[in-house]
Structure 1
Amino acid sequence: MGQKINPLGFRLGTTQNHHSFWFAQPKNYSEGLQEDKKIRNCIKNYIQKNRKKGSNRKMESDSSSEVITHSSYRKKDSGSSSEVITHIEIQKEIDTIHAIIHIGFPNLLKKKGTIEELEKDLQKEVNSINQRLNIAIEKVKEPYREPNILAEYIAFQLKNRVSFRKAMKKAIELTKKADIRGVKVKIAGRLAGKEIARAECIKKGRLPLQTIRAKIDYCCYPIRTIYGVLGVKIWIFVDEE
């Protein structure tokens, strides 16, 4: 039988890098690991909360206006679905904790006072008295090359009752804007509300999963729908070293 392994962990140290950089004694390692998880969860929850507030304000302003064109509504939908974090890098020093947020479209975090507010929330969550928190934002150069952004896009489309096949094909079309060599999208669960769960898959280009020198980005994303939880997996073959 085939032994399945996470493509990111399989290539760690060759084409993939660690997302946390710090040193700790063996007895303090678990505390540092839990602290990293708290920081990442706090940042993600803060961005999700602000996205919901922004979408509610847009809905209120839209309801006050008389006519809304279909094209403008689609633009708002695509923008709200694309503001997602690709990954968070954490670098710990003796007196400072650096959190670098890699995001596709950093419109939310560019507003005044958001970084300061986020730093205060993190300080309360982590309870680090002796360490100072420093947050930096880094925009992803090619957002549609990141599997997390594509998975978020598919999730947004499925929650809006779009056909899963149409959402998968549209996500693969978006990858044409990025310089990649192959992509594979897989959705499993109660697709289209059917009683029997199944899996559907679309692949385009090459995807050498067994080649370690091949840089492959991977993401597993759960989607909560009215029919139940769907699972989305995306593999992107970026380049071969």
Structure 2
Amino acid sequence: MGQKVNPNGFRIGFTRTWPSMWFAGKARYRKLLLDDLCIRRFLQKRLKEAGVSLIEIERTKKVSVIIHTSKPGVIIGKQGAAIEELRHILEKEFGGIFAVEIQEVRNPDADAEVVAETIQGQIARRMPYRRAVKMALEKAMQAGAVGVKVLVSGRLNGAEIARSDLFKEGNVPLQTLRANVQFARRHAVTKFGTIGVQVWIHKGMVFKNIRHLHTSSLPSHA
């Protein structure tokens, strides 16, 4: 039933690892888990224009937040002023000592989170959804993706009855665990209602454990 689950969680332990790296006993586990969720929601809301792909959190004596983004300059700011301000805000909002690290997404056109965010923004700005999706599909395939699938759902083009429209290019295996498949989900708010956008991007097969597959180079295909 691979097609019924989130492809990211389905591959944890095989080709992906947990986005939160820490250990806690029963007494603190619930609090730290909720803190991680709140930190991610806070950063995604604050950095919604920065092309954020993934937020990793590691806890030791301090909280290390690793932000994978396609626009590192937006987060870092001039001479690092913006990232230092962000660190102070995190410490004020959530307490503790924070360290913020930025890692650039090398190929944003083939990153599911960035592609989904781009399509969401274009639909919210009233671009026809077919044009937005087809442009994203073309760019992803040109960037080296093996396959791309996009599902758009809702009152498309202002229709009275909600429906779904599926677009697909190439091969996207959902049940092959060694397939490096990224998945992302976004919601675009329009005057007709909410439009759901789901994106699957297949980057090729993985035959060894790679921690950060989303930042690794895409394999070359003849």
TM-score category by the smaller chain?
0.7 to 0.9
Change in CA separation of 1:4 and 1:176 when aligned onto 2, cut-off 3 Å: closer
8 Å contact from structure 1 (residues 43, 118) kept in 2: no
* Matches of 2:44 and 2:183, distance apart in 1: 19
Equivalent in the alignment of 2:17: 17
Q: Which runs of 5+ in 2 are unaligned?
A: 207-222
- Kindly provide the CA deviation profile for residues 125-157 of structure 1, in whole angstroms up to 9, marking residues without a partner as x: 1122xxx21001110111111111111111121
Q: Matches of 2:72 and 2:31 in 1, distance apart? A: 30
Tell me, in whole angstroms, the C-alpha distance in 1 between the residues paired with 2:59 and 2:35.
Answer: 11
1:146-199 deviation digits (Å, cap 9, x = unpaired): 111111111121122211111110010110342211000110000000010000
The amino acid that maps onto 1:84 is G
Out of 98, 110, 114, which is 2:76 matched to? 110
Which residue, out of 190, 194, 199, partners 2:155?
Answer: 190
Q: CA RMSD in A?
A: 1.6
Deviation at 1:30, TM superposition (A): 0.5
- Other-structure match for 1:80: none
- Aligned equivalent of 1:158: 123
Aligned partner of 1:35 in structure 2 is: 35
Query: Contact conserved, 1:183 with 1:206, CA < 8 A, in 2?
Result: yes
1:126 is matched with 94
Q: Where does residue 97 of structure 1 map in the other structure?
A: 63
Counterpart code for 1:85: V
Residue by residue, what CA displacement relative to the aligned partner does 1:4-24 show, whole Å, maximum 9, x if unpaired?
111111111111221110010
Runs of 4+ with >4 A deviation:
none
Alignment-derived partner of residue 104 in structure 2: 139
Matched residue, 2:52: 85
Other structure's SS at 1:107 match = helix
**Shift in Å at residue 3 of structure 1?**
6.9
Number of aligned residue pairs:
204
Which structure: larger Rg? 1
Separation in structure 2 between the aligned mates of residue 2 and residue 103 of structure 1, nearest angstrom: 28
- Distance (whole Å) between structure 2 residues aligned to residue 3 and residue 151 of structure 1: 19
Letter in 1 for 2:172: L
Measure how far apart 1:2 and its partner are: 8.8
The 1:3/1:147 distance shift into structure 2, 3 A limit, reads closer
TM, length-normalised to structure 1? 0.80
SS at match of 2:73: coil
User: One-letter code of the match for 1:119?
Assistant: R
Q: Is the 8 A contact 1:42 1:121 kept in 2?
A: no
* Matched residue type, 1:17: T
Residue identity (%): 37
